[in-house]
Structure 1
């Protein structure tokens, strides 16, 4: 900076004096520099000026209008923005209930459905003893029963039924023996988190169930609402949970609760053309052609079927009657493995039970000349006869 000042101070300009032609008492001074040469400005540029192209261009008419606005305009616009921010959030879109064009019913679906139902009658799956429908049985008050069902479903997302059931029981004990809206609101977040920290995404679910309880208290008289849209307005509640809550808590059959098991199995069976990509697409397809009387049963039926036989990885096609009947397009050949646990089908059997003692007799069928094996358990309670062809392996 000092060097610049020295440079400016050393510059001199030669001036020539002459008398004014209009007034002899006035002397005029003229420069001797060439007028064609540009005169360098002595003004020092201290800060760079923002170029116009760095900011969005504003038409000249808008600039003039902006300059002419009074100062009170800024406060008015600020108050309008503040008022807009204080408005209630937009209501979520209503849950779609049906397709504009129904999906056609798949061929042989009735036979497939009947065989799965028959297999499920001989399987005790985790959903049968630890599913969301079981949480309400530990409560006596109707509101608490419905609330327990909702909480169980909210905790069950991406979590096994065994873990969810244990978390609900632990949370109930932490709240004093009953799972109620007021008790959950009054509980500290750390108490809730410590009770449910075995389920998936437990931190987020702690926040969800606490906020949901507050909304139930403030908007629904501390009770579970009776519509899908109201249920889906609660934080952490989606269509699957809403439909199952209405079925279990209110005995309202208004749609199908589709989880990963229902989504996976119905696609394996080829019931969707083209295959569905989301559970919501699966639900809408199923609801368009499956008779309403099956909407309640299909979820627990396929969930248990998926937990025991139609597994996500390495399904037990060797134990599935759909495979032997040739009506499952996704059936796989399963090689015998010593590491795989055997599955024993029976009225009171589960995967952890030891194989029952059986008595095998031979008899002939007049209608079918083939030899049939007739099996019965050697227990005080005689199970129904299970007839299988002689060529099958047991």
Structure 2
């Protein structure tokens, strides 16, 4: 049973949610470790179906041996597979990383492109990965990153009825100013990890409880 305050529009409610999340997580940023755009691209590919913590355990040695697109493009595939094995789906991830880096070397002068339409042409790179790279490596808000946390919380907050990430992104783009697209995503990710957990949401500790139609009265006390 929701306990939502009355807001005149979804847009106003989305902005109120964003204000509160900015206040709660003022230093929120990408939790993947990287030094260059290509390293962020690789780390983001590895993060699929894997925690950022686990990825951060794997990438130091990976980037020590293969620090840039040229090195990754010419690496032995079996070596890459062994290095990324702990992240799961390692054969597919290694193949995509190498293929993406070969395209970056051949078509983009060894530099990760700065346009969404170019990034999504790379093997293993969909809109989520492209949005992460553009926002955090280049400071470009080209779209809204929709990962599992953003998808789940945006639905719970009553800001979308869609389940398809592309459609959810489209809904959020209509509600949020462009300069805050990634601010929304990164803070919702933090909130999904810390408070609005999938198995046991801590509604009693949530700063969004009075604007969330999914907040459960039974969970408003510890």
TM-score range, shorter chain: 0.7 to 0.9
- Structure 1 unaligned spans of 5+: 1-103, 137-144, 338-394
Residue of 198, 204, 208 corresponding to 1:312: 198
Alpha-carbon displacement from aligned partner over 1:102-133 (angstroms, at most 9, x marks no partner) = xx744533322222222223xx8xx74x723x
1:294 aligns with 2:174: no
Q: Secondary structure at the match of 1:135?
A: coil
| Normalised TM-score (structure 2) | 0.88
Q: Are the structure 2 counterparts of residues 329 and 336 from structure 1 closer, same or farther at C-alpha, using a change threshold of 3 Å?
A: closer
Aligned equivalents of 1:219 and 1:107: distance in 2? 43
Quickly say closer, same or farther: Cα 1:113–1:251, change in 2 above 3 A.
closer
The runs of at least 4 aligned residues of structure 1 exceeding 6 Å deviation read none
Q: Cα 1:225–1:196, aligned 2, differ >3 Å: closer, same or farther?
A: same
> Partners in 2 of 1:242 and 1:211 — Cα distance?
16
For 1:314 and 1:105, locate their aligned partners in 2 and report how far apart those are by CA, in whole Å. 26
1:155 and 2:46 are equivalent in the alignment: yes
Other-structure match for 1:109: 14
Aligned counterpart in structure 2 of residue 135 of structure 1, from 34, 56, 59? 34
Q: Which residue of 2 aligns with 1:193?
A: 81
Q: Distance in 2 between matches of 1:197 and 1:106?
A: 43
Instruction: Tell me by how many angstroms 1:259 deviates.
Output: 1.1
Contact 1:174–1:191 (CA under 8 A) maintained in structure 2: no
SS at match of 1:313: coil
Q: By how many angstroms is 1:278 displaced?
A: 1.2
Task: Answer with 1 or 2: which has the greater Rg.
Answer: 1
Whether contact under 8 Å (2:38, 2:111) holds in the other structure is: yes
SS across alignment from 2:123: coil
**Aligned-residue offset at 1:236:** 0.5
- Pairs within 5 Å for 1:23-38: none
CA distance in 2, matches of 1:202, 1:161: 15
CA displacement at 1:336 relative to structure 2: 7.8
Whether 1:253 and 2:141 are equivalent positions in the alignment is yes
Contact 1:170 1:196 in 2 (8 A): no
Instruction: Show the 5 A alignment for 1:25-174.
Output: 105-121=10-26, 128=29, 131-132=31-32, 134-136=33-35, 145-174=36-65
What is residue 214 of structure 1 aligned with on the other side? 102
Q: What's 2:214 paired with? A: 330
Q: Distance in 1 between matches of 2:153 and 2:88?
A: 23
What residue ranges of structure 2 are gaps of 5+ in the alignment? 1-8
SS state of the match for residue 147, structure 1? helix
Higher strand share: 1
Structure-1 separation of matches of 2:125 and 2:183: 21
Counterparts of 1:107 and 1:214 in 2: how far apart (Å)?
45
Query: Greater helix percent: which structure?
Result: 2
